[in-house]
Amino acid sequence: MSSLKSIGNKFFSTSFKTYKSDHIPKGIFKASIAPRPIGWISSVCKSGNHNLAPFSYFNAVCDIPPTIMISTTDQHIEGGPKDTLQNIESTGHFVVNIVTQQLYEQMNLTSADLPRHTSEFDYADIKWLKSDFGESRRVENSPIQFECKYFTSVQLPQENKTSVNKMIIGTVIAVHVDSNILDENGRVDYAKLKLIARMGYNDYLAINPKDIFVGKRPAANNILPKE
């Protein structure tokens, strides 16, 4: 369906095309909301199997206290919720590991559809560290890791009966930062961090410090009308 622009009582075709939500051409939704950060989530099930999987429906949602969300969509290959969702809801602890260029291959391997009781730590040969506040592991080579406590889950709309679309919200209870990615003022140095993010389709973005610019919010006294 193409949009029509009206001038007086005449209608002209514009370059916009309008699609109802169930007919959006494949990939446009995710490609338009990009880059999306990647949360590489480690969790553990009640019987002790350690899980690791990437999520790009991931973001910060508030900062006092620091709070994040991830959404699991679709389903596990064996049916039902993905391991990450099941584990977090049952144990209450998980870790968000930040993904760098160097970790891309391993991160991608951990998105494979593996049987429920196979650990991605073994499958992708991931080095790990113990957490301080729970049983989920930290990815050793990830330079920033957030230990999180499960806050709540939000059931999302589901058109497909087999999907389990849920948003998990977690409170960050501890941050582990490798000092090698900080500058002399203790700020994150993007040249050292070498962050990657998810674009649409099969595209990724390697964050290049040359593309970063500084923007400051306007001071309120520049906007309010002068008396």
Ligand X SMILES: Cc1cc2nc3c(=O)[nH]c(=O)nc-3n(C[C@H](O)[C@H](O)[C@H](O)COP(=O)(O)O)c2cc1C
Closer by beta carbon to ligand X, 161 or else 210: 161
In terms of CB distance, is 129 or 167 closer to ligand X?
Answer: 167
Residue nearer to ligand X on the CB measure, 38 or 139: 38
**Residues in contact with 195: Cβ distance below 8 Å, sequence separation at least 6, in sequence order:** 98, 99, 100, 101, 206, 207
If phi > 0 it is left, if psi is from -120 to 50 it is alpha, else beta; for residue 67 that is beta
Q: How far is the CB of 201 from ligand X (least distance, A)?
A: 12
Q: What's the CA angle centered on 167, arms 164 and 168, to 5 degrees? A: 115
Kind of pairing between the strands at 144-155 and 93-98:
antiparallel
Chain residues in the site for ligand X (CB under 6 A): 38, 51, 53-57, 71-74, 76, 82-84, 108, 111, 113, 198
As measured in angstroms, the least distance from the Cβ of 180 to ligand X is 24
Closer CB to ligand X, residue 137 or residue 198? Answer: 198
**Rounded Cα–Cα distance for residues 173 and 147 (Å):** 6
We find the least distance from the C-beta atom of residue 80 to ligand X, in angstroms, to be 10
Helix (H) or strand (E) holding 157: none
